[in-house]
Structure 1
Amino acid sequence: MEYHVAKNGSDLAQGSKQDPFLTINKAASIAVAGDTIIVHEGEYREWVKPKNSGLSEYRRITYQAAEGEKVVIKGSDRIQEWEQVEGTVWKVVLPNEFFGDYNPYKEEIFGDWIVYNPGRHLGDVYLNGMSFYEAENLEQLHNPEVKTEVLDHWTQTIVPVLDPEQTKYVWYAEVDEENTTIYANFHQSNPNEELVEINVRKACFYPEQIGIDYITVSGFEMCQAATPWTPPTADQPGLIGPHWSKGWIIENNIIHNSKCSGISIGKEASTGDNYRTKRKDKPGYQYQLESVFLAKQAGWSKEKIGSHIIRNNTIYDCGQNGVVGHLGCVFSEIYQNHIYNIGIKREFYGHEIAGIKLHAAIDVQIHNNRIHDCSLGTWLDWQTQGTRVSRNLYYRNSRDLFVEVSSGPYIVDHNILTADYAIDNHAQGGAYVNNLIRGKMVHRKMLDRATPYHVPHSTEIAGFAVTYGGDDRFFNNMFIGDETLENVGTVHYNGYTTSLEEYIEAVHQQDGDHQAFNAVEQPVYINHNAYFKGAESFEREKEKMEALFEPNLNIIEEGNEVYLSLELPEDFETFLGEIQSTNTLERVRIVDAEFENPDGSEVVLNTDFLGNHREEKSVIGPIASLKAGKNYLKVWG
């Protein structure tokens, strides 16, 4: 069946093109496997809650915007009853019944791993689509400060505000037993003559029930939802998401202004819901371990959970994450998305903020995404196994890539990473191949937290391990330093062994059992990398290119197209690297597993950033057509 929804429809109608429904939820209540819901142009202020599940990849329920028509689903309502209080400050008084059982102006940013929150709430105010900042008190509302710089809490550096003028637009709310009063400073605008909206609903497209499988959502704009903080130990609702199910396709959408997370492919509440913050009796780490076992009891497996596709979306202006997920993200593919302006308002801060933030990203493939102007580009935390990060473009992020407390095997290949702080490597068992890395890497062991690893290509738990550091592979990468940066390159691994045989021999010269493994550095496999402008190499790397050469790297935006400008030395084209594959990348030690494709087949890293096939020997770095001298190449659009 094909159902139609239009702004001139009625929920008492038949749902045909000639007699459409008025709301998407009406169509969602009756559509079954194999049906398509076509939504026509207009604004739909509703939280779409799919009721029924598709049955397979071939018998989906599809929600799509009508071709060539702009369809917007909003978690906000328009408010036109503003009263002027003083000067440019206005207020509106709304009965609490207006919000039902979820009042975003009463609900605070709350949960595990929140570090900084000076009383911020889930509400927001928008003037012609522009998000305001929440003031801490009424006095700040009358005297708003224009901020040109803010503190990035993780890197502890001062970073510029993208739009300082926006920071003077502020709101504040008071909630009593009967009413919610929202104050806002609109400056020269009259809020009753402009489009002024406030967050009302928790989500735009998110089922209330779990197990709503095989849904496709395509072609919508979705925005302005009062989504809560989504750590890995909590229920993880996003502006849109599958809510612990299998086989969703989220494609060709524009997703923005989620208070916390845009797309969620994460866990649900029964496996833990902020118990560290609520109960205070155990560390969040312990509750996160428990959530993994609770998930197994709840059916966490490839047969029931994950395998989602997130592609061709534009995701921006979200307070916490563009894409978030713990456990529910397994076996998914995230590609061709444009993700930017994530976590940069810095109204609140916690250890769960990134353009893409995934825990337990088993066999997840993240490729061909453009990620920029984020607090952190991509953060893979716990159980990064079978994961591949390939051919992504990162720029103007405070940090580009973070892999934490994982034992691999995972692959990072053919990416362009350009942040001053390019990589956080607090993991082991990674293969970094043919990347351009301009910026520092921070390499750390994590000996106080053992995290799970799995039977390859499965959610079955095979064991636990701390992060010893090492067991990493670096081949055919191009490192570019800067006179202001330290720790650029592979110099962090000085003192590490270079083969499993050497490592085993050194361990068995020690006394004891597990203590001996703590005392010897794991093997690393590092060869055939280039180091420019002060980047430093691993002391035992045999074949390498080192030069004080200035590559003059620049990322240049021209409309929706992005170009890479890069200079390379005269002898660059003589330094050729070999194709890396399952057969050349040593197995990871702890997991005792090979680098493979998700289906268990051999992985061959012979496709460059631009999608071109590499010859058996070709120049190093992400693009096979790089040459000596000046390069100017389109890398997006």
Structure 2
Amino acid sequence: MHHRSSRPLTRAAGRRLLGAAVAALALTIGAVPQLATPAAAAGRAIHVAKNGNDSGPGTAAQPYLTINRAAQEALPADTVIVHAGLYRETVKPARGGSDEANRITYTNAGDGEVVIKGSEEVNGWTRASGNVWRVTLPSSFFGAYNPFAARQPNGGGGDFFPVYTAGDVYLDELAYRQKGTLAEVQSGPETWYAEVSGGNTTIQANFGSADPNARLAEVNVRRQVFAPDAWGLGYVTVRGFTVKHAANIYSDFPSSPTRSQAGAISVNGGLRWIIENNIVVNARTIGIDIGLGNDEWAGNRPGNTRTHFHNTGLYGSHIVRNNYIARSGQSGIAGVFSWNSDLLYNRIEDTNYRNEFSGAETAPIKVHYMNEGLIKGNYIRNSQGGNSAGIWTDWGNQNVRVTGNIVINAPWGYYAEAVFGPILVDNNVFIGNHDIRTLDATGIVFANNLFVDNGNVNIDGGGREAYYFQPGTMNESTATTSTQRFHWYNNLVQGSTLPNNATGKTHVKEGNVSNAVSNVRYTATNTQLQLTFDLNTAGISGLTPVTRARVGTIPLAGESIAADVTTDYFGGAINAGNVMAGPFAGARNGANSFTLWPPAGQTVPNPPAPPAGETNLSLGARALASYQDGTLTADKAIDGNATSRWSSDHSNDNSAWIQVDLGSSFTVSRAVLKWEAAYARAYKVQVSDNATQWQDAYSTTTATGGTETVPVNRTARYVRMQGVTPNTAWGYSLYEFELYGQPAGGVTGPTVYGSADYQGTAATLAVGNYDLAQLQAAGIANDTISSLRVPSGYTVTGYADAGFAGTAWTFAADTPNLVATGNNDAISSLRVTATGGGTGTTLRSRANNLYVTAGSAPLIANAGTVGTAQRFDVVDLGGGNVALRAKANGMYVCAENSGAAALVANRASAGPWETFQRITNANGTVSLRATINNKYVTAPGGGAQPLIASSDTVGTAEQFDLATA
């Protein structure tokens, strides 16, 4: 199916949408099992639109101009309907609803995106020197709160993070990086430095080649975006907004009222909020907070108590679901004293992505005292920080269930700290996290999880004084967690070892299966997560379901786990007589493939289109490294997947390098290096026209890891990272090595048009991969391409679905009307490949003397003449290894299913399945041996059947003539 993009910002007022809004609200409430679902009362519909007036009545015909104006008027049972547009304000509801039937609901009108920003646009920049621009803002610009003067707290005792403030600078929605000196800004693009003095704030930013006065330059000014000043409001729904640029501070530790959690969206100690279907991006610290703000030691000192945590009828029981949360500096969702709350089906990614905050409160999901809570179905990936976890249950958290979540690429995939339990962690997928950890914890039950490449399972701490509670309450007692007991049932484990008993630590381990999983691959796009793996079920038998009775009563807590584990990750029933290890009841022996995201029956907003700007030239290019560690190959650093990586570990070579071949000369403006923990303290970015003679474009001896953006400003075909000094003993490792720029002499390539006969909206596209978000960033809306021009030397492959999926069409010449070819207004993603003027390498099989043909079908030797479909690029991977890239579609040839299936050209980059050893035979022919299974590629059936890597020896069917044609 097509993935329709959201409608653009438009002005629309006075539409009769209350009925739809109320109906949607009723459906939403009805989907929540623990809440009563009385019919919503017939309240007032208050409208807000960009053509409104705050002095008007707030009707559909005469709407208010600001959301906050409506928030001061709304009464229980009212619905605030916000029409499409950009609103720069903080929404501060004056009151909440009175009960479930009389909520106050804030909702998108459905006529386009509603964006609420904590920033203001800034013009009047003047060039200071080079690419650095300066602007001076008076105190009146900020009002009572100046984020550029607000330092970021770090730990107790009044400490602060060096350098960082609550301020942020954005150009075309890209958040720049704060630096501690002007000199660092002068040498680094996409950075800024600020000084506050004499009532003025002077900001200097390196905008590269951009003129900020001609682009959208913004700075954040508001600490929060949707947050009441009033404490403890209840029954508020926030639905369907895009919330950006909160200038909030780090809450570390949340024991001080001055360091309270304050999210871009905040319940401020409220009761039974529903926060759903929102997009929350670029919060300086916390995206959404759902607690009492700070903990008992500060919030409940005499004279300071606002809501005592014993009074669970006054706070908590929130639902946070189906939100997209990205690039929060501290947490996507945080809650200290977030009693009985449900965090459901949220997608949270790139937390602490600038690697600025490594304090004890950094995590995509971090909750304290969320007793009776549920963390279910969330998709979490890519968080950073030396002291951070994907999901962190800290203090309290009795009778909590963590189920059906995906956690990829976090320092700790799951972390339980200072808890007695019970906490049930079941049916989750943990992939590629550094560790799984507990500290001073007990009563954790791990059941039917998939653990793949998660480093160590660390059971740390000898115990500390912590709380346990009377079941179903927040009435606490204290004891020391020195006697620790953990349960491990029916988990599927690869690449880690479950812990053994130790002094003071007992592990009940039953039904766990190790080393039965292989060839694990996951493909993450903007809209989908696909997981494939091979499973050997030979040792999986006799497993029994995990039940409350089996676990028994957790000591001191006086209760067992929250539920029996009767369903799997997808909600399908677990067969008690034939229990499968891991989270997938339907897993079978051999190859398995599961779509983990989006969750069935849920609607979660897709990530917004990336900021407009130069193309990432690395996508679709070729990568080569001096050394690559196992499957951590060079292509992983240019695949656009922030969770795969290249590594030089075990090379013992401080001079290890990785290079990108762009295919032709490009003017490269900058490089973005996204480091794993093994980063280079000293390195160079070098350029070359021939991959032999190199020139330094950038050099540093003081790199700090994380994501680094460095200037290049050179024209070259080859760019490489040349290591000098690693920061750890594990060499160098990059998640992504992104290069930005444009073809030398300007953008050249095919042009796509929004109307037939080369009319309408047009965009010229350089060689590369253009998913839906990239097409939108280039100005091409989804399903709007009606004609295209394809110059000689290029091929365009269009796809019916985003993510380069669905029906594919290849264009090698101008096409004035796609109606005639049956694909008008049907393209959601496309690839542009250079065909090298029509030349390439051909493979002619000795089995039948016919040329090998590539395309959407498996490779087969069936052509008597040579055309585009019979030409390949032979990519030298080093060490005698090559990859084949088909001219027909620009895709690499893959030995599918670890070589067990036919070869097909369907991969965007070259990895182990796309790597072949090139062997020259005595008669001058060439044989190809797939490295994934060490089998030779053969043309079976006398060449009449598709090519497959299945032969142990070389005969006629395994020999090919290679030639340039």
What's the TM-score, normalizing by structure 2? 0.55
CA distance in 1, matches of 2:520, 2:275: 34
Asked if the contact 1:124–1:131 (Cα under 8 Å) also holds between the matched residues in 2, the reply is yes
Asked if the contact 1:365–1:389 (Cα under 8 Å) also holds between the matched residues in 2, the reply is yes
Is 1:401 matched up with 2:444?
no
CA distance in 2, matches of 1:293, 1:593: 35
Asked if the contact 1:120–1:348 (Cα under 8 Å) also holds between the matched residues in 2, the reply is no
CA distance in 2, matches of 1:558, 1:236: 32
Secondary structure of the corresponding residue to residue 304 of structure 1? coil
CA distance in 1, matches of 2:88, 2:306: 37
Q: How does 1:396-545 map to 2 (within 5 A)?
A: 396-426=409-439, 427-438=441-452, 439-447=454-462, 449-461=464-476, 463-468=477-482, 470-481=484-495, 488-490=496-498, 492-495=499-502, 521=504, 523-532=506-515
The equivalent residue for 1:237 is 262
Alpha-carbon shift at residue 111 of structure 1 (Å) = 4.5
Asked if the contact 1:322–1:339 (Cα under 8 Å) also holds between the matched residues in 2, the reply is yes
Relative to 1, partners in 2 of residues 1:552 and 1:205: Cα closer, same or farther, differing over 3 Å?
same
Secondary structure of the corresponding residue to residue 148 of structure 2? coil
Q: How does 1:58-97 map to 2 (within 5 A)?
A: 58-97=101-140
Give the residue type in structure 2 aligned to 1:38. I
Asked if the contact 2:70–2:80 (Cα under 8 Å) also holds between the matched residues in 1, the reply is yes
CA distance in 2, matches of 1:584, 1:288: 40
Alpha-carbon shift at residue 391 of structure 1 (Å) = 0.4
Alpha-carbon shift at residue 467 of structure 1 (Å) = 2.5
Which of the numbers 374, 386, 394 marks the counterpart of 2:383?
Answer: 374
Relative to 1, partners in 2 of residues 1:248 and 1:379: Cα closer, same or farther, differing over 3 Å?
same
Alpha-carbon shift at residue 254 of structure 1 (Å) = 0.3
TM-superposition CA deviations, 1:81-115 (whole Å, max 9, x none): 11111111111111112111110010111253598
Asked if the contact 1:78–1:198 (Cα under 8 Å) also holds between the matched residues in 2, the reply is yes
CA distance in 1, matches of 2:320, 2:74: 22
The equivalent residue for 1:191 is 212
Is 1:42 matched up with 2:8?
no
Give the residue type in structure 1 aligned to 2:379. R
Give the residue type in structure 1 aligned to 2:488. F
Give the residue type in structure 1 aligned to 2:575. E
The equivalent residue for 1:503 is none
TM-superposition CA deviations, 1:291-340 (whole Å, max 9, x none): 7997697354220010000000000011000001101x110000111000
Alpha-carbon shift at residue 118 of structure 1 (Å) = 2.2
Which of the numbers 551, 555, 560 marks the counterpart of 1:594?
Answer: 560
Q: How does 1:148-159 map to 2 (within 5 A)?
A: none
Alpha-carbon shift at residue 419 of structure 1 (Å) = 2.4
Asked if the contact 2:154–2:161 (Cα under 8 Å) also holds between the matched residues in 1, the reply is no
CA distance in 1, matches of 2:393, 2:594: 29
The equivalent residue for 1:564 is 531
Asked if the contact 1:123–1:226 (Cα under 8 Å) also holds between the matched residues in 2, the reply is yes
Secondary structure of the corresponding residue to residue 37 of structure 1? strand
Give the residue type in structure 2 aligned to 1:458. T
Asked if the contact 1:374–1:396 (Cα under 8 Å) also holds between the matched residues in 2, the reply is yes
Relative to 1, partners in 2 of residues 1:561 and 1:316: Cα closer, same or farther, differing over 3 Å?
same
TM-superposition CA deviations, 1:539-586 (whole Å, max 9, x none): xxxxxxxxxx561222212441111111111515x5242221212112
Relative to 1, partners in 2 of residues 1:297 and 1:550: Cα closer, same or farther, differing over 3 Å?
closer
Relative to 1, partners in 2 of residues 1:136 and 1:561: Cα closer, same or farther, differing over 3 Å?
same
Which of the numbers 519, 539, 561 marks the counterpart of 1:552?
Answer: 519
CA-based RMSD: 2.1
TM-superposition CA deviations, 1:108-152 (whole Å, max 9, x none): 1125359882221100000000000001111111112xxxxxxxx
Is 1:313 matched up with 2:323?
yes
Is 1:218 matched up with 2:239?
yes
Secondary structure of the corresponding residue to residue 151 of structure 2? coil
Secondary structure of the corresponding residue to residue 551 of structure 1? strand
Structure 1 unaligned residues grouped into runs of 5+: 145-167, 273-286, 482-487, 496-519, 533-548, 597-602
Secondary structure of the corresponding residue to residue 258 of structure 1? coil
Asked if the contact 2:299–2:305 (Cα under 8 Å) also holds between the matched residues in 1, the reply is no
CA distance in 1, matches of 2:76, 2:517: 58
Pick which of 373-382 and 574-583 moved more.
574-583
The equivalent residue for 1:125 is 169
Secondary structure of the corresponding residue to residue 101 of structure 2? coil
Give the residue type in structure 2 aligned to 1:311. R
Relative to 1, partners in 2 of residues 1:296 and 1:336: Cα closer, same or farther, differing over 3 Å?
same
CA distance in 1, matches of 2:301, 2:290: 16
Alpha-carbon shift at residue 31 of structure 1 (Å) = 0.5
Relative to 1, partners in 2 of residues 1:126 and 1:431: Cα closer, same or farther, differing over 3 Å?
same
Relative to 1, partners in 2 of residues 1:124 and 1:522: Cα closer, same or farther, differing over 3 Å?
closer
Percent same amino acid among aligned pairs? 32
CA distance in 1, matches of 2:299, 2:93: 31
Secondary structure of the corresponding residue to residue 346 of structure 1? coil
Is 1:326 matched up with 2:336?
yes
Asked if the contact 1:373–1:398 (Cα under 8 Å) also holds between the matched residues in 2, the reply is no
CA distance in 1, matches of 2:74, 2:113: 22
Higher RCO structure, 1 or 2 (CA under 8 Å, sep 6+): 1
CA distance in 2, matches of 1:25, 1:428: 46
CA distance in 1, matches of 2:79, 2:277: 16
Relative to 1, partners in 2 of residues 1:531 and 1:567: Cα closer, same or farther, differing over 3 Å?
same
CA distance in 2, matches of 1:135, 1:106: 14
What's the TM-score, normalizing by structure 1? 0.82
Asked if the contact 2:463–2:483 (Cα under 8 Å) also holds between the matched residues in 1, the reply is no
Asked if the contact 1:319–1:344 (Cα under 8 Å) also holds between the matched residues in 2, the reply is yes
Relative to 1, partners in 2 of residues 1:26 and 1:632: Cα closer, same or farther, differing over 3 Å?
same
Secondary structure of the corresponding residue to residue 133 of structure 2? strand
Asked if the contact 2:290–2:334 (Cα under 8 Å) also holds between the matched residues in 1, the reply is yes
Alpha-carbon shift at residue 634 of structure 1 (Å) = 0.8
CA distance in 2, matches of 1:423, 1:83: 50
Is 1:622 matched up with 2:583?
yes
Asked if the contact 1:89–1:142 (Cα under 8 Å) also holds between the matched residues in 2, the reply is yes
CA distance in 2, matches of 1:68, 1:39: 9
Give the residue type in structure 1 aligned to 2:83. H
CA distance in 2, matches of 1:559, 1:199: 27
Secondary structure of the corresponding residue to residue 444 of structure 1? strand
CA distance in 2, matches of 1:579, 1:292: 48
Give the residue type in structure 1 aligned to 2:330. Q
Asked if the contact 2:490–2:510 (Cα under 8 Å) also holds between the matched residues in 1, the reply is yes
Give the residue type in structure 2 aligned to 1:494. N
Relative to 1, partners in 2 of residues 1:299 and 1:629: Cα closer, same or farther, differing over 3 Å?
closer
Asked if the contact 1:395–1:555 (Cα under 8 Å) also holds between the matched residues in 2, the reply is no
Secondary structure of the corresponding residue to residue 119 of structure 1? strand
Secondary structure of the corresponding residue to residue 445 of structure 2? strand
Give the residue type in structure 2 aligned to 1:110. P
CA distance in 2, matches of 1:218, 1:289: 29
Secondary structure of the corresponding residue to residue 118 of structure 1? strand
Secondary structure of the corresponding residue to residue 524 of structure 1? strand
Greater gyration radius: 2
Structure 2 unaligned residues grouped into runs of 5+: 1-43, 599-965
CA distance in 2, matches of 1:292, 1:405: 25
CA distance in 1, matches of 2:583, 2:301: 38
Give the aligned length: 543
CA distance in 2, matches of 1:293, 1:592: 33
The equivalent residue for 2:364 is 355
The equivalent residue for 1:159 is none
Asked if the contact 2:471–2:558 (Cα under 8 Å) also holds between the matched residues in 1, the reply is no
Relative to 1, partners in 2 of residues 1:448 and 1:613: Cα closer, same or farther, differing over 3 Å?
closer
Asked if the contact 1:414–1:622 (Cα under 8 Å) also holds between the matched residues in 2, the reply is yes
Relative to 1, partners in 2 of residues 1:425 and 1:469: Cα closer, same or farther, differing over 3 Å?
farther
Asked if the contact 2:244–2:281 (Cα under 8 Å) also holds between the matched residues in 1, the reply is yes
